[in-house]
Structure 1
Amino acid sequence: MTNQASSSSSSSSLLSSLGSVLPHFSLHRATNVLPKRHPALQKFESRLAEKLEALKLAGEELGFLSIDWFLQSMTVVLASHSNVEALIPDLQFPLSDKDDKWMDEYLNDSAKLLDVCNVLKEGISDVEHYQMLVQVALVNLDNRESFSEAKYHRARNALQDCKEAIKTKDTEYKQGQPKSKLENCSSMLRTMGEKLVNPKGIKGNGFLNAIYGAKVTTIFLCGLLVIALACKPKRPLVNLSVTNQYLWSSSLLSLQHTVKEETDKRKNGGSIALLCELDSVDSSVRRLHQLIDRNLLEKKFPLDKDQAGELRQLVEDLSKNSAHLGSGLGPLEQYVNELFRILIDSRLALLDILSKSKKRQAI
Structure 2
Amino acid sequence: MSRPQEPHRPFFPHGNPFRMILPKGSYLSPKLQALLNNFEETLAGRLRKLVPKCKDDVFSVSWMLLAVQLLSETHNDIKSLITELGLPVVDWDDKWIDVYLDNSVKLLDICIALSSELSRLSQGQLLLHCVLRNLEQSGSSKAKSSIDSWRQHIGSKNPRIDNCFAIIDKLTESLELPKVKNSAKGKTLMRAMYGVRVQTLFVCSAFMSAFTGSDKKLIDLHVTGTHLWGEAFNDLQRCVFGEIRNLVLSDRNVLVKELEAVSTSVSEVYSVFQEGVEPTKSESVQKSVVELRRNMDELSSGLDLLAKEVDGFFHIVLSGRDALLGNLRVSGSVFDPPKKHKMEEQLVR
Judge same fold: TM > 0.5, yes or no: yes
Q: Any idea what SS the aligned residue of 2:28 has?
A: coil
Query: What whole-Å deviation, never above 9, does each CA across 1:13-33 have from its counterpart, x for those lacking one?
Result: xxxxxxxxxxxxxxxx99974
For 2:28, give the aligned amino acid.
Answer: P
Aligned partners of 2:257 and 2:135: how far apart in 1? 24
**Number of equivalent positions:** 311
Q: Which residue of 2 aligns with 1:24?
A: none
**Cα distance 1:199–1:111, how it changes in 2: closer, same or farther (>3 A)?**
same
Q: Does 1:268 align with 2:249?
A: yes
**Matched residue SS, 2:139:** helix
Contact 1:187–1:235 under 8 Å retained in 2: no
Tell me the distance in 1 between the aligned counterparts of 2:326 and 2:95.
16
Instruction: Tell me, yes or no, if structure 1 residue 140 matches structure 2 residue 128.
Output: no
Going from structure 1 to structure 2, the CA distance change for 1:348 and 1:92 (only over 3 Å counts) comes to farther
Q: CA deviation at 1:228?
A: 1.1
- Partner AA of 1:224 in structure 2: A
Q: Which moved more, 1:68-77 or 1:272-281?
A: 272-281
Contact 2:215 2:244 (C-alpha < 8 Å) held by counterparts: no
RMSD over equivalenced CA pairs, Å: 3.0
Counterpart check, 1:343 vs 2:314: no
**TM-score normalised over the length of structure 2:** 0.79
**What is the CA–CA distance in structure 1 between the aligned matches of 2:179 and 2:48, rounded to whole Å?**
24
Trace 1:144-223 onto structure 2 (pairs within 5 A). 150-169=138-157, 180-198=159-177, 202=181, 203=183, 204-223=186-205
CA distance in 1, matches of 2:280, 2:133: 19
Q: Write the deviation string for residues 100-150 of structure 1: whole angstroms up to 9, x where unpaired.
A: 3123112111111011110010010111011111122123345xxxxx6x3
Distance 1:301 1:124 in 2: 34
* Distance 1:209-1:103 versus aligned 2 partners, 3 A rule: farther
Aligned residue for 2:74? Answer: 80
C-alpha displacement at 1:362, in angstroms? 4.8
Q: Quick one: structure 1 residues 316 and 199, their matched pair in 2 at CA, closer, same or farther if it must change by over 3 Å?
A: farther
Alignment of 1:184-333 (within 5 A): 184-198=163-177, 202=181, 203=183, 204-230=186-212, 232-233=213-214, 235-295=216-276, 300-301=277-278, 308-333=282-307
CA displacement 1:134-188 (0-9 Å, x = unmatched) = 122123345xxxxx6x32222211111111112323xx7xxxxxxx221220332
Change (3 A) 1:195 1:303: same
In the TM superposition, residue 196 of structure 1 has moved relative to its aligned partner by 0.9
Distance 1:356-1:39 versus aligned 2 partners, 3 A rule: farther
TM-score normalised by length of structure 1: 0.76
Gaps of 5+ in 1: 1-28, 143-147, 173-179
CA contact (8 A) 2:47 2:236 kept: yes
Amino acid at match of 1:184: N
Q: Distance in 2 between matches of 1:331 and 1:62?
A: 20
- 8 Å CA contact 1:52–1:255 kept in 2: the answer is yes
- The code of the aligned residue for 2:35 comes to A
> Match of 2:248, SS?
helix
Q: Name the aligned partner's letter for residue 63 of structure 2.
A: W
Deviations 1:3-50 (A, max 9, x none): xxxxxxxxxxxxxxxxxxxxxxxxxx9997432653232222111110
Contact 2:127 2:147 (8 Å CA) reproduced: yes
Indicate yes or no: 2:124 matched with 1:124: no
Describe the shift of the 1:362–1:181 C-alpha distance in structure 2 as closer, same or farther (beyond 3 A): closer
What letter matches 1:193 in structure 2?
T
Give the conservation status (yes or no) of the 8 Å contact 2:268–2:285.
no
Matched to 1:286, the amino acid is: S
1:223 partner amino acid: S
1:42 aligns with one of 28, 37, 41: 37
Q: Deviations over 1:232-284 (max 9, x none)?
A: 33633233343332211221121111111111111122211221111222232
Q: Distance in 1 between matches of 2:294 and 2:199?
A: 32
Letter in 2 for 1:181: R
Aligned partners of 1:74 and 1:335 also within 8 Å: yes
AA aligned to 2:140 is Y
Shift of the alpha carbon at 1:347? 1.1
Opposite residue 84 of structure 1, the aligned amino acid is I
5+ long unaligned stretches in structure 2: 1-21, 338-349
